[in-house]
A = this chain, B = another copy of it.
Amino acid sequence: MNFKETLSEKITQAEAVIRQYLPKEEGFAKELAQAMNYSMLAGGKRLRPIFMQETYKLFGGEGRVIEPFMAAMEMIHTHSLIHDDLPALDNDEYRRGKKTTHVVYGEAMGILSGDALLNYAYETAFLAFDIEGANAARIGRALQIIGDKTGIYGMLGGQSVDVKNEGMPMDWDLLEYIYGNKTSALIECAMMTGAVLGGASEEEIFLIESVGYRVGLAFQIQDDILDITGDAKELGKPLHSDEKNHKTTYVSLFGLEAAKEKVEELTGEAVETLKDIEGNNEFLYELIESLTTRRK
């Protein structure tokens, strides 16, 4: 199997893991479960759960303890998408070609289903304590990382600063904070959690954090690049939206060539750091490198 086939198979597997942990659509709160599942099953690359699982394997992780965490990771990511799309934030009617949650279920249910997914992520991760032979100390450490990277010191912090500075000029300091938290934090989280559960040392977890940071930053800068050089059809959205919205991006600050170089540089550093770690996962290296040439 070539890389693309392997990736596609891994996405199918991650999808199956995630589906196992979704709430049942029954009882009085049936519609809340439907709204949660609607967004969870609206497609997506399942990149974060795959990053988690592959980092877990890099450190020799085996068994099912990773599975509730993979589902939890995707729930947190989906929670952030539902709330980002709300009228008071980005006010988006469509995502990945489907109507957004609040458009289908109403704004109140959009807010509550986002809340419920964030909470359900923790409920799901807590199931790991009940898996036979699970290491409670590792689970505790993984939970601390998830809390930290999701909240005010991670994704939600980045999101709040992004919202506050919408349409305003920004310097690299501020933009780097937003990219590092709004985008990198959950990739750091996925990889660090995989590392912890796979048995990595604190020093290795620290290295993995720097890898996740670089992968996330490269991912975000690639987004900025694609907004100019991409194909509107492949992307599923019009080009040049950043310029139209007066959005400060890596490209607007440093130019297209510098942006491309930065993506290469960050990706190279990430893969090199990974290769220095004992253990081997060719697929993970290829996955990270593939993101530099992605078209959507």
Contact = CB atoms under 8 A, between A and B. Distances in A.
Interface of A: 23, 28-29, 31-33, 36, 79, 83, 86, 88-89, 106-116, 118-120, 122-123, 126, 129, 136-137, 139-141, 143-144, 147-148, 150-153, 156-161, 163-164, 174, 177, 181
A152 B118 contact: no
A144 B115 contact: no
Contacts of A88: 106-108, 110-111
17 contacts: A28-B174, A29-B160, A29-B181, A31-B160, A32-B156, A33-B152, A79-B115, A88-B110, A109-B164, A112-B156, A119-B147, A119-B150, A119-B152, A119-B156, A129-B137, A140-B140, A143-B143
A230 B110 CA distance: 35
A129 B140 contact: yes
Nearest to A156: B116
Max chain B Cβ within 10 angstroms of own Cβ: one of A31, A122, A160: A160
A110 B156 CA distance: 12
Given A28-B157, A112-B160, A140 B150 contact: no
A116 B152 contact: yes
B140 A136 contact: yes
Contacts of A108: 88-89, 163
B111 A86 contact: yes
The 9 closest A-B pairs by CB, nearest first: A29-B157, A123-B147, A88-B107, A32-B160, A119-B151, A129-B140, A136-B136, A116-B156, A126-B144
